[in-house]
Chain A
Amino acid sequence: MNIVVCLAASWLALVAVSRGAAAPEPRIAYELATAPAPLGRIDELVFARLAALGLAPAPRCSDAVFARRAFIDVIGTLPTPGETRDFLQDTNPAKRAALIDRLLARDEFADLWANKWSDLLRVKAEFPVNLWPNAAQAYHRWIHTAVRDNLPYDQFARTLLTANGSNFRVGPVNFYRAVPSHEPAALARAVALTFMGVRVEHWPEGRLAGFATFFGPLSYKTTGEWKEEIVFFDPTKFPAEGKMTGALPDGTSITLMSARDPREVFADWLIDPKNPWFTRAIANRVWSWLLGRGIIHEPDDLRPDNPPSNPELLAHLERELVAARYDVKQLMRLILNSHTYQASSLARTDRPEAETNFAHYGLRRLDAEVLIDALNQITGTSEKYSSAIPEPFTFIPDEERAIALPDGSITSAFLEMFGRPGRDTGMETERNNRITATQRLHLLNSSQVQRKLEQGPKLQALLRSRNPREVVDGLYLAILSRPPTEDERATVRDHAVQVRDGRVAAVNLAWALINSAEFLHRH
């Protein structure tokens, strides 16, 4: 009883000054008081569009919000309390740009973006396509290396389109193997979706058949090694006269000769900077990945009757990407340094055009992988992932993070529940970040989350501190990546008094913070 009283007494001192009559304006935790001003061409174009609509951009987000947002968006990882503190204390006026550069160079950058590409490129060992574990690993390894080394995007696409060789040894040949059907039209459909952002359903009749011609002379053969398959250009599939007529996606008719792999002919047409789809599709995708919504929405539905919300902005991004020789990281850097990316998530208006024109940063529920990794990072726990496919068994280290999982067949109940894509279609919408009551139930009350909170070593170490202020500030920094407001400290103190047990209050606080809208969203 004495201990309880003693704990409660120290918790009473949690708030430095007694609470004033009015709670402070909550916005100050999230955004700067300075008026919005364009930081570059992107912002000029966005602001101009907003002005035309009679809308005002939101001010920039606070440093704490920026750090959390940039970590999550660029490397799929929460900042540690130390990283947040260092950033907040840094007095360098260019510290946001410096942080962006550091994040773009981190190892997790390759993990996160290889994971993104693996969704679109359908990296999955089993079902609906039997890629097989070895091939899925090879495919992922190639993608991961390409992202890590920042392979120019035009070369990335060309290699995926034109590769020949073994599914186990030449990762990119699995691009075609991962399409559910080997019919040339099915391959053509996947190519258009992936690299042109085009759904061929909208094409005029006959267009697909002409385009499919490019993928006809592709063959597959097995070898002596179990489940190895060679994908190769097979000139014997040409008609006897050694030539045939294909049609490019723009309708141009073209004569293909058996001396040259038609996939190369197509790839060279595709990655030409003058190509009307290629640069546009990737520039728009990158924007949508960072801002949560494409300038063209959905980002894989480019067509004349689905125009960009801001055509000048998209054209600008395209020019920048071409000028940077398809350096995607450079394009990201440009976007991340804009006011538009750094805008507060606090909307100024209910008008929906505000969000579709990027007046503020739109809320997004954390991706499944990022969420479970964040919970593990906060609590100091890990998940056990395994492959259900015994051909051969895939070893996954205990510390493996979900964003680094190579193979869509390696999954968990948590990842499934939170909408990790099945990697069946290569469409962006396959990822489902809609909140459901089942997810809510799991976060609020499951044994999995409860165990992490009650037993996670990192959290326990924090809770052992005798100084309640250290505990509360530590939890806020670890979970919400910001210090608590005085008002919040007072709420926590009141709660500690109510439950009369500092430890219970601290665990309840950790529980409440991981269940807060602020934690569950990118904001």
Chain B
Amino acid sequence: MKLHHSVDPKLWNFHSELRLLGLRDTPMTRREAIRLGLLGSAGVVLGNAFAAPASASPPAAPAPKAKSVIQIWLWGGPCHIDTFDPKPDAGYDYYGALKTAIPTNVAGIQLGELLPLLAQQADKYSLIRSMSHGVNAHETAAYTVQTGRASGGRDVFPGLGAIVSLFKGYDAGYRGLLPPYIVLTELQGRFSESGFLGARYKPFATGGDPGANRFMVEGVVAPGVSDERQRVRREFLHRLNTFERAQRSGDPRLAALAQCESDAYEMILGDAGKVFDLAQEKDAVRERYGRNTFGQSCLMARRLVERGVPYITINYKGWDTHKQHFPIMRRKLPELDRGLAALLAELAERGLLESTIVWSCGEFGRTPKVQWEAPWNGGRGHWGKAFSALVAGGGFRGGHVLGKTDAKGEEVVEQPVHPSELIGKIYRQLGIDAGAKLPHPEGRDVRVMPGASEAPVKAGDVLAAIA
């Protein structure tokens, strides 16, 4: 199933162009176009600038260690000192209601007290406690963390997921029945996942709730419509074809519509859609992840990785805790703890962790000093100067802490890591060449990773210790 496999509106145009060049004397059918590898190749969609991304850049892409990525996106910005960078000695005004740091299964690494299950998996992941970009607005920080670029330039760059979808999706020969880039369950909204790459590289948003009795994936599962009725009405749709009969056969726009329809029905009636049926998992497994939206999203992500989906985002919202910070942490952190710990453990048990990167962070951290005053009454604000990221699998080492913040968690004091450095490392593990060209709508020369002048990337490999 090629959910994002769409057909260029200029198809008619481009076979006209081929004809003008004397290459064709009859219009090309979609089937021919596919056979010739024209359709659905970004080179056609976006112009000649992208004819051959891999060969365009002499340094060959590094050999991939990872095949899939699970991004656990903590939208809103979780507090670093309540989670991965505890500061039990910073005083009440900093740790607030969450004073205790707990040991993990790796000597010397401690976590916040509400993450006991993750503490038992510390050998599987590394923590970067020195993430920093200095941006304190949601939309610009989210952009920087997921694109590695500063906001405000001339272009809106695509995020990591869209770039993986470009280099590991249909354009790169991905043959999976599921879309190559899936978000559970909603788009991020204030962040355009695909930037200038456009709608084709946007994630497929499942909608629905994996934590519900039945995960109603939007478009795939229709409540109250039996498979039989699906078949009957599809047949009916095909018989009401006055318009198609009137049009000349072979109109590429109508051919594209028909192709998209048959792709869609593979999800509705074929086997592809069955992956979303969480009832196929044993109850004990479902319990292990936690019977809530986040926990079951983690389980869903594992099932998608098993089917070879290259990039999955769990868009886990609700971390923007200006008010009610500590009560919200007491509710959410146990969910995060259970779901993420189960995911890491299961990926390892099934031998998938080696080839699957799991990374988790938000767009920034939160004010280490608790805002006790009104109107916050014990809240935390935005903190782009210092935050933490968890990263595991796919070539990343486990059981390691990189970087350090000061005693109060306010400033990075050792090994600052800019998001572009983490992203660059993830590309490396996936075998995506940082110097490969991106298809730009105006045909300009832009690369996967910003050049040295465009991002504060330090010389040398700051992440060498963990990957």
Question: What string of 1s and 0s marks CB contacts (under 8 Å) between A440-463 and chain B?
Answer: 111011111010000000000000
Across the two chains, which residue of chain B brings its CB closest to A482? B242
Question: What string of 1s and 0s marks CB contacts (under 8 Å) between B193-206 and chain A?
Answer: 00110111010110
Query: How far does the Cβ of B223 sit from chain A's closest Cβ, in whole Å?
Result: 7
The interface on chain B, measured as residues whose beta carbon lies within 8 A of the other chain's beta carbons, has a size of 82
Query: In the assembly, what is the distance between CA of A440 and CA of B202, in Å?
Result: 15
Across the two chains, which residue of chain B brings its CB closest to A411? B189
Question: What string of 1s and 0s marks CB contacts (under 8 Å) between A493-523 and chain B?
Answer: 0010011000010001101110111101101
Give the residues from 358 to 376 in chain B that come closer than 8 angstroms, CB to CB, to chain A: none
B282 interface residue per 8 A CB criterion: no
Contact with A128, one of B152, B224, B260 (Cβ below 8 angstroms)? B152
Q: Given A128-B151, A201-B442, A488-B240, is A346 in contact with B248 using a C-beta cutoff of 8 Å?
A: yes
Query: How far does the Cβ of B29 sit from chain A's closest Cβ, in whole Å?
Result: 11
Contact with A127, one of B2, B156, B205, B237 (Cβ below 8 angstroms)? B156
Query: In the assembly, what is the distance between CA of A521 and CA of B251, in Å?
Result: 13
Pair B246/A442 contact, Cβ less than 8 Å? no
Question: What string of 1s and 0s marks CB contacts (under 8 Å) between A107-134 and chain B?
Answer: 0000000000000000000111100000
Query: How far does the Cβ of B44 sit from chain A's closest Cβ, in whole Å?
Result: 12
A155 interface residue per 8 A CB criterion: no
Contact with B243, one of A427, A444, A450, A523 (Cβ below 8 angstroms)? A523
Pair B261/A444 contact, Cβ less than 8 Å? yes
Query: How far does the Cβ of A112 sit from chain B's closest Cβ, in whole Å?
Result: 20
Across the two chains, which residue of chain A brings its CB closest to B245? A26
Note all chain B residues with C-beta closer than 8 A to A365.
9, 253
Q: Given A201-B444, A437-B263, A512-B236, is A422 in contact with B192 using a C-beta cutoff of 8 Å?
A: yes
Give the residues from 417 to 444 in chain A that come closer than 8 angstroms, CB to CB, to chain B: 417, 419, 422, 424-425, 427, 429-430, 432-442, 444
Note all chain B residues with C-beta closer than 8 A to A30.
243, 246
Query: How far does the Cβ of B214 sit from chain A's closest Cβ, in whole Å?
Result: 12
Query: In the assembly, what is the distance between CA of A436 and CA of B143, in Å?
Result: 26
Contact with A521, one of B13, B195, B253, B444 (Cβ below 8 angstroms)? B253
Across the two chains, which residue of chain A brings its CB closest to B250? A350
Note all chain B residues with C-beta closer than 8 A to A180.
152-155
B247 interface residue per 8 A CB criterion: yes
Pair A419/B218 contact, Cβ less than 8 Å? no
B216 interface residue per 8 A CB criterion: yes
Pair A518/B444 contact, Cβ less than 8 Å? no
Pair B220/A441 contact, Cβ less than 8 Å? yes
Contact with B2, one of A422, A437, A491, A492 (Cβ below 8 angstroms)? A437
Question: What string of 1s and 0s marks CB contacts (under 8 Å) between B316-357 and chain A?
Answer: 000000000000000000000000000000000000000000
Note all chain A residues with C-beta closer than 8 A to B199.
416-417, 419, 432, 434, 436
Pair A413/B186 contact, Cβ less than 8 Å? yes
Q: Given A424-B196, A520-B257, is A127 in contact with B140 using a C-beta cutoff of 8 Å?
A: yes
The interface on chain A, measured as residues whose beta carbon lies within 8 A of the other chain's beta carbons, has a size of 75
Pair B205/A413 contact, Cβ less than 8 Å? yes
Query: How far does the Cβ of B326 sit from chain A's closest Cβ, in whole Å?
Result: 22
Q: Given A444-B264, A444-B268, A521-B253, is A127 in contact with B12 using a C-beta cutoff of 8 Å?
A: no
Question: What string of 1s and 0s marks CB contacts (under 8 Å) between B159-201 and chain A?
Answer: 0000000000000000000010000001101111001101110
Query: In the assembly, what is the distance between CA of A485 and CA of B239, in Å?
Result: 13
Pair A388/B190 contact, Cβ less than 8 Å? yes
Query: How far does the Cβ of A520 sit from chain B's closest Cβ, in whole Å?
Result: 7
Note all chain A residues with C-beta closer than 8 A to B219.
438, 441-442, 444-446
Pair A441/B3 contact, Cβ less than 8 Å? yes
B459 interface residue per 8 A CB criterion: no
Pair A445/B186 contact, Cβ less than 8 Å? no
Pair A388/B242 contact, Cβ less than 8 Å? no
Contact with A436, one of B154, B200, B225 (Cβ below 8 angstroms)? B200
Query: How far does the Cβ of B244 sit from chain A's closest Cβ, in whole Å?
Result: 6
Across the two chains, which residue of chain B brings its CB closest to A442? B219
Contact with A438, one of B3, B222, B244 (Cβ below 8 angstroms)? B3
B26 interface residue per 8 A CB criterion: yes
Query: In the assembly, what is the distance between CA of A446 and CA of B225, in Å?
Result: 11
Give the residues from 245 to 274 in chain B that come closer than 8 angstroms, CB to CB, to chain A: 245-248, 250-251, 253-254, 256-257, 259-261, 263-265, 267-268
Note all chain A residues with C-beta closer than 8 A to B232.
495, 498-499, 508
Note all chain B residues with C-beta closer than 8 A to A517.
243-244, 247, 254, 257
Query: In the assembly, what is the distance between CA of A104 and CA of B1, in Å?
Result: 44
B425 interface residue per 8 A CB criterion: no
Across the two chains, which residue of chain B brings its CB closest to A424? B156
Query: How far does the Cβ of A399 sit from chain B's closest Cβ, in whole Å?
Result: 23
A369 interface residue per 8 A CB criterion: no
Q: Given A180-B152, A419-B199, A434-B9, is A352 in contact with B244 using a C-beta cutoff of 8 Å?
A: no
B16 interface residue per 8 A CB criterion: yes
Query: In the assembly, what is the distance between CA of A518 and CA of B247, in Å?
Result: 10
Q: Given A450-B222, A512-B233, A517-B257, is A437 in contact with B248 using a C-beta cutoff of 8 Å?
A: no
Note all chain B residues with C-beta closer than 8 A to A491.
236, 239-240
Query: How far does the Cβ of A180 sit from chain B's closest Cβ, in whole Å?
Result: 5
Q: Given A346-B246, A440-B260, is A434 in contact with B6 using a C-beta cutoff of 8 Å?
A: yes
A27 interface residue per 8 A CB criterion: yes
Question: What string of 1s and 0s marks CB contacts (under 8 Å) between A377-421 and chain B?
Answer: 000000000001100000000000000000001010100110100
Pair B236/A508 contact, Cβ less than 8 Å? yes
Query: In the assembly, what is the distance between CA of A36 and CA of B221, in Å?
Result: 49
Pair B192/A435 contact, Cβ less than 8 Å? no
Note all chain A residues with C-beta closer than 8 A to B256.
434-435
Give the residues from 262 to 307 in chain A that come closer than 8 angstroms, CB to CB, to chain B: none
Note all chain A residues with C-beta closer than 8 A to B140.
127
Q: Given A355-B12, A427-B441, A446-B222, is A440 in contact with B186 using a C-beta cutoff of 8 Å?
A: no
A363 interface residue per 8 A CB criterion: yes
Q: Given A128-B151, A515-B237, A518-B243, is A436 in contact with B260 using a C-beta cutoff of 8 Å?
A: yes
Note all chain B residues with C-beta closer than 8 A to A346.
246-248
Pair B204/A438 contact, Cβ less than 8 Å? yes
Note all chain B residues with C-beta closer than 8 A to A446.
207, 218-219, 222
Note all chain B residues with C-beta closer than 8 A to A181.
152-154
Across the two chains, which residue of chain B brings its CB closest to A444? B264
A85 interface residue per 8 A CB criterion: no
Q: Given A429-B441, A434-B199, A508-B236, is A440 in contact with B261 using a C-beta cutoff of 8 Å?
A: yes
B308 interface residue per 8 A CB criterion: no
B418 interface residue per 8 A CB criterion: no
Pair B16/A511 contact, Cβ less than 8 Å? no
Query: How far does the Cβ of B444 sit from chain A's closest Cβ, in whole Å?
Result: 7
A170 interface residue per 8 A CB criterion: no
B139 interface residue per 8 A CB criterion: yes
Pair A350/B257 contact, Cβ less than 8 Å? no
Pair B246/A27 contact, Cβ less than 8 Å? yes
Note all chain A residues with C-beta closer than 8 A to B153.
128, 180-181
Pair B243/A26 contact, Cβ less than 8 Å? yes
Pair B236/A127 contact, Cβ less than 8 Å? no
Query: How far does the Cβ of B100 sit from chain A's closest Cβ, in whole Å?
Result: 34
Pair A447/B223 contact, Cβ less than 8 Å? yes
A186 interface residue per 8 A CB criterion: yes
B431 interface residue per 8 A CB criterion: no
A487 interface residue per 8 A CB criterion: yes
Chain A to chain B contacts (Cβ below 8 Å), 19 pairs? A26-B243, A29-B242, A199-B442, A345-B247, A363-B247, A413-B186, A422-B156, A434-B9, A436-B199, A437-B4, A437-B5, A437-B263, A444-B264, A446-B219, A450-B222, A492-B240, A499-B232, A508-B236, A517-B247
Nearest 4 Cβ contacts at the A-B interface: A352-B16, A441-B219, A518-B243, A436-B6
8 additional A-B residue pairs with CB within 8 Å, beyond A437-B5, A438-B204: A126-B190, A127-B140, A127-B191, A186-B154, A434-B256, A437-B2, A441-B267, A447-B218
Residue numbers of A with Cβ under 8 A of B are 26-27, 29-30, 126-129, 180-181, 186, 199, 201, 345-347, 350, 352-353, 355-356, 363, 365, 388-389, 409, 411, 413, 416-417, 419, 422, 424-425, 427, 429-430, 432-442, 444-448, 450, 485, 487-488, 491-492, 495, 498-499, 504, 508-509, 511-513, 515-518, 520-521, 523
